[in-house]
Amino acid sequence: MTRVITETTIPSAAIVAWMSEINVAVQRHRDHLTQLDAAIGDGDHGTNMARGFAAVQTTLTGQGDDLLPGQLLILCGKTLVATVGGASGPLWGTAFRHAGRAVGAATELDGPLLVDALDAALAGITGLGRASVGDATIVDALDPAARALRSAVQAGAPLSQAAGAAAGAAEDGCKATIPLQARKGRASYLGERSIGHQDPGATSTALILRALETALSR
Ligand code: ADP
Ligand code: MG
């Protein structure tokens, strides 16, 4: 039976839909992400994300049906670690695994659990990568997204709207990396020459958050 995705909770089907929307977005933006990474890194970010989320899609298509939201998030994280070389694989892999553990055995995520999940994802990424806001990384998009999600949920916004606020904050954070000097990852090797470039990882982070809004708006 098709489960209905309501405005107030996120069942497993909505997590699968989110992963599917991420896959659509990273395939669509693959060349752009790669171009951004070619300017200040090694030009593989688009292919890394595209490979990783294609593998997630395949894995969930085969195994996703009976898993809880937290189990799905953990499976997604493991798949990313297994399929993506480069910094983004372990970072997003850790993020989704931490998010999955944070929601435990819940059958559906409500607003506060979604906030916990995103906070845990951020903590996973900062714990592994040691980046702070302003270092021109994933964190520059994910940290403001987590804050915006929390504010929107606390204000009682429907989840799709809260996800939209998070995506907007991630997009702003991503644009805000342009004047920054990269302090972590490959781009940091360029020193001041990294200034003037939008961070590829922050860019894909905004796609991941916007995909959540899309999945919850269906
Ligand atoms: P690699 O840099 O190994 O080629 P990718 O190109 O897939 O891996 O990913 C690059 C992105 O990873 C960067 O644009 C940046 O956003 C992110 N990144 C790199 N190092 C860190 C870190 N320590 N913390 C958070 N994000 C990071
Ligand atoms: Mg790269």
For the stretch 75-117, pLDDT in tens is 999 999 999 989 999 999 999 999 999 999 999 999 999 999 9
CA of 194 from ligand 1 middle (Å) equals: 13
Return the pLDDT at 38.
97
Question: How far, rounded to the nearest angstrom, does the alpha carbon of residue 214 sit from its chain's CA centroid?
Answer: 13
Nearest ligand to the CA atom of 126? 1
Task: Tell whether ligand 1 has an atom less than 6 A from the beta carbon of residue 215.
Answer: no
Residue 143 has φ and ψ, to the nearest 5°, of -65, -50
Return the pLDDT at 5.
44
Helix (H, G, I), strand (E, B) or coil at 208: helix
Residue nearest to atom 4 of ligand 1 (CA): 86
Residue nearest to atom 27 of ligand 1 (CA): 137
CA of 30 from ligand 1 middle (Å) equals: 15
Separation between Cα atoms, residue 134 and residue 109, nearest integer Å: 31
By the CB criterion, residues less than 5 angstroms from ion ligand 2 are 37, 41-42, 44-45
Return the pLDDT at 85.
87
Residue nearest to atom 3 of ligand 1 (CA): 86
Return the pLDDT at 4.
41
What predicted TM-score, i.e. pTM, was given to this entire model? 0.96
126 Cα nearest atom in ligand 1: 24
Beta strands 10-11; 108-109: pairing state? antiparallel
Helix (H, G, I), strand (E, B) or coil at 10: strand
Separation between Cα atoms, residue 11 and residue 78, nearest integer Å: 20
Return the pLDDT at 7.
54
Return the pLDDT at 198.
98
The parts of the chain modelled with pLDDT lower than 70 are 1-7, 64
User: Could you tell me if 162 and 152 are in contact, meaning their C-beta atoms sit under 8 angstroms apart?
Assistant: yes
Q: What is the b/e burial string over 5-32, where b = at least 16 CB atoms within 10 angstroms of the residue's CB?
A: beeebbbbbbbbbbbbbbbebbeebbeb
Pocket test for ligand 1, best of 42, 84, 174, 186 (most atoms within 8 A of CB): 186
Pocket test for ligand 1, best of 138, 139, 204 (most atoms within 8 A of CB): 138
Nearest ligand to the CA atom of 143? 1
User: What is the longest distance spanned by two Cα atoms in the chain?
Assistant: 55
CA of 92 from ligand 2 middle (Å) equals: 14
Task: Tell whether ligand 1 has an atom less than 6 A from the beta carbon of residue 129.
Answer: yes
> Who's near 37: CB < 8 A, 6+ residues apart?
43, 44, 45, 46, 200
Q: At what angle do helices 12-28 and 30-40 cross, to 10 degrees?
A: 60
